[in-house]
Amino acid sequence: MAELNNKESTLSLLKNKLVQQLNFIYKEVDSEIDFDTLSDQLIQLMRLDEVCHAPVAHENHWSEKDIIMITYGDSVIQADKKPLVVLQNFIDEYLGDSVNSVHILPFFPYSSDDGFSVIDYSSVNESLGGWDEIQAIAKDRRLMSDLVINHCSSRSAWFDNFVKGEGIGHDFFYTASPEDDLSQVVRPRTSDLLRETETARGTKHVWCTFSHDQVDFDFRNPEVLKSFVSIIRLYLDMGVKIFRFDAVAFLWKKLNSTSINLPETHEVIRLLRSLLEHAEKDAVIITETNIPNTQNLTYFGNANEAHAIYNFSLPPLLINSLVTGSCLYLKRWLMSMPPSQNGTAYFNFIASHDGIGLRPAEGLLSDYELTTLVETMAEFGGKISWRTTESGEPKPYEINIALYDALQGTTKGKDKLGLQRFICAHAIMFGLEGIPGVYIHSLLGTKNDYEKVENTQQNRSINRHRWDYDLLKDSLEDETNHHSIVLASLKELLDIRIKQPAFHPNATQFTLHLGLQLFGFWRQSLDRKQSIFSVSNISGHEMELVIQDLNLIMTDSWFELISGEALNVDAEMMMLAPYQTVWLTNVLY
C-alpha cells in the first residue's frame, strides 16, 4: 500500500510539473489546448502509469569508468554479415573493457546526410541489421542513440501525408512565406531556408534549417511532441540509455526571431527530461548544440535540462594549441569554464563524424587564429564547409578532416611528430573534467578518405571511412602499422583512466600556470583522496617541468601513471619529450 501511495504521489507531482511546462511552451500558440489532458496523454505514452520512478536531484549517472565510442553502424563491414554484428565483434575483440558505452549514429532508414535525414524512426535500417542486433549491443554496452528531433526526411510517410494533406504528419511541418522577414534566422548552411512544395492545399514553403531533404518539424503542434515521446519510449524498450538530441537548438521557430535557442526549445528539453527520468532512473540526455560556448552552456539549465552537453569548443581549441605550440587560448577557455554541477557533465570529444566546428571557437580564438587554423588544416588535406552569416556573408563553419591528418604537423608544415601529437591530444582529453567520447576512426588512426568525398560529393565524408573488417584485422595485427600503434596507445591510456577516481567526470579541476608550451591541470577525486596533475608538452621540442611549480604535497609518494614509474619529488625538474603527457598521482589503483 505504501509503495502504491508513493507511486501515486510521484505521478501527481509529475503531472503538475508537466502541466506547468506545457503551459509555458504552448500558452502563446493555442489557448484552447487542454494541458491537463495532454499531460495525461504524455504519461500514458511513456507508460509511467505502469512504472514511475522518483528522480533524485543532482545524481551522477556516470563515473570515471564511462568511455563512449562514437561510430556508424557500418563503420566496420564484412562480407555476408550484418554490419551491426560485425561492429559488436570488433568492439568485443579489440576494445574489451576499455570502452563500456557506444554511440551508434543514426541507424534508421534514411535518405541523406548519412542517417540524419530519417525516413522511419521506428525501425532499423535493414542494411545494418535489426532491433535484435541493437539490443544485443545494448545488453553488453551502454547504448547511446540519436533522437533526430528537429527535422526528418522529405521521403518520410509523415511528409508524404503533409503533401497529400491527410493522415499522420499532415500538420507536422513548419511553413512560412517568402514574404516573411527571415533576416534574423541563424543557420549553419548556405542553402535557401524555405523549400517550395506543392501540396493538396496549394503551394507551401517548408522550413529547412539544414537541407531541402531535411524538413523541419512544427513543435507548435502538440501531436509532434506526442510522437517524439512515443519514439523515446520505443528506444528505451530497445535498450537505449543515452539520448543525443540532435540539432535541438533549432527546434522552436518563431518569425522575426533568430529561431535558435528560444525559451520554448529549452522548455521542451526540460519536459522530455521530466518524462525520461521518471521512466528510467539512469537515462541521460546529451544535447548536440554546435553553437558559441556561452550559448551552449545554457543547455544545462539549472541541472534540470541536459544531463550533459557536447563540449564543442574543445576540438578547435585543442587542435589549435597543438599546431601552434601555444596553449594560451585553450588555457583561457578552460579557466573560464564553470565546473559542472553534480547531475550534469561535459561530454568531451576532439573528433566525430562531423568536422571541427568553428562557431564554438568564435569569441575564443581571434580572427587571425581562426584563419590560420583553417589554412593549416587545408594544407593537411582538410575541406572547409561554410555558413551564411546574418549579414549574408559566407563564413567558415566547419573544418572537415580526419583527426590523424589534422595533427600531422604544425603551422610550419608537416613533420615526423604526428603520432606523438595525436596521442597527446587524446591524453589531454581523457584527463579533462567530463565524459570522454572517442571516435572509432580516432581509435584506429584512420586517415582522410578522399575517395569517399569524391563519391558522395560531401565534405564530411572525409572522416567517415568504412573499414573492411578483414583488412582492418590485418592492420591491427601488424605491430609496426600506425593503426595498431594508435589503438594500443589509446587503449593503454583508457585502461589507466578508468581506474582513477580523480578522473571522475565531476571531480574537481583547476588549470595550472606553467607557461604557454606546457598545458596542465589538476584533478581531485570526489572523496579528496586522490590527486592527479596532468601536464602535456604541446611543443615539438623537449621541455623542462619544474616540479616545485606543481606544489606537490611532499609528504606523499608520487607516481607517473602512464610510465608506471615513481616520481623523485626531491628532483628539481623532469624532462618532457615533444608532445609527452604525464599523469602524476599520489594514489595508485
- 113, 218, 246, 405: which one is catalytic? 246
Residue 33 contacts residue 19 (beta carbons within 8 Å)? no
Residue by residue, DSSP assigns 157-226 as HHHHHHHHT-STTTT-B-B--TTS--TT---S--S-SEEEEEETTEEEEEE-SS-TTEEEB-TTSHHHHH
Cell numbers at residue 434, please? Answer: 567530463
Cell numbers at residue 110, please? Answer: 534514411
Rounded Cα–Cα distance for residues 570 and 549 (Å) = 13
Classify residue 29 by burial, with Cβ atoms within 10 Å: 0-12, 13-18, 19+: middle
Cell numbers at residue 127, please? Answer: 542494411
Q: How far is CA 353 from CA 147, 358, 459, 580, in A?
A: 16, 15, 11, 27
Rounded Cα–Cα distance for residues 353 and 334 (Å) = 24
Residue 327: phi and psi, rounded to 5, are -100, 20
Cell numbers at residue 495, please? Answer: 585502461
Element (H, E) at 37: helix 35-45
Cell numbers at residue 253, please? Answer: 521557430
3-state secondary structure labels for all residues of 345-404: EEEECCCCCCCEECHHHECCECHHHHHHHHHHHHHCCCEEEEEECCCCCEEEEEEECCHH
Q: How are the residues of the chain apportioned to helix, strand and coil, as percentages rounded to the nearest 5? A: 35, 20, 40
| Neighbour count for residue 294 (Cβ, 10 Å) | 12
DSSP label at residue 442: H
Q: To the nearest 10°, report the CA torsion of 128, 452, 71, 312.
A: -140
Residue 267 contacts residue 25 (beta carbons within 8 Å)? yes
Query: Does the annotation mark 246 as catalytic?
Result: yes
Which of 200, 69, 120, 81 shows the shortest CA–CA distance to 470? Answer: 81
Task: Give alpha helix (H) positions in 398-481.
Answer: 403-406, 418-431, 440-443, 450-456, 469-477
Residues involved in catalysis: 246
